[in-house]
Homo-oligomer: A and B are copies of this chain.
Amino acid sequence: MSEVAVKLTGRLSPRDEWAADGCPIAGTLEVIGARSSFLLLREAFYGCTRFDDFARRAGISEPVAAARLRELVDHGLLAREPYQEPGKRTREQYALTPKGAEILPVLTALMDWGNRWLADSPQVQLRHRECGAAVSAELRCASGHAVAPGELDLVPGAGSRRRR
């Protein structure tokens, strides 16, 4: 069995101090790493806004849904907002913030991989509304080139600046 040439070879090896929490991947997992968090975000993208729908469609119990939704709100990925349909009482809804909306590539990449490699799960595709073509999360550089895994270097330090 041959070795797969996908390592980010070259000058990449990060220092050992990169243990768990000193890395943006690990940091992101601290925020959305729970299974139910992924599922709730999935439902948010699917259009869920109400508590009951979140719990039912994500297939998780209400206490868990309540806890995770609160976490997501506290971390600023979802915003809880009152809304009122004419003639009805005030209700609460959960809506994605820009910070939460940018999780979409993560979910898309997970969906892509599942579609390709999991034989027992149904295929689900995102499509570009204008042209109908399948959408996936692919590696691109800022210059617009499609990037293969072997063409990557890993560099520490400042890249795009943080927003908040």
Rounded to whole angstroms, the CA-CA distance of A22 and B122 in the bound complex is 6
- B112 near A105 with CB under 8 A, answer yes
Q: Which size class do A's interface residues fall under?
A: 35 or more
Q: Contacts A8-B46, A26-B39, A124-B24 given: A102-B106 contact, CB under 8 Å? A: no
Q: Contacts A16-B56, A123-B159, A155-B125 given: A24-B147 contact, CB under 8 Å? A: no
- B24 near A110 with CB under 8 A, answer yes
Rounded to whole angstroms, the CA-CA distance of A45 and B46 in the bound complex is 31
Secondary structure type dominating chain A contacts:
mixed
- A126 contacts which of B128, B145, B154 (Cβ < 8 Å)? B154
Kindly state whether residue A81 has any CB partner on chain B within 8 Å: yes
Residues of B with C-beta under 8 A to A104: 6, 139, 149
- A151 contacts which of B8, B110, B130, B145 (Cβ < 8 Å)? B130
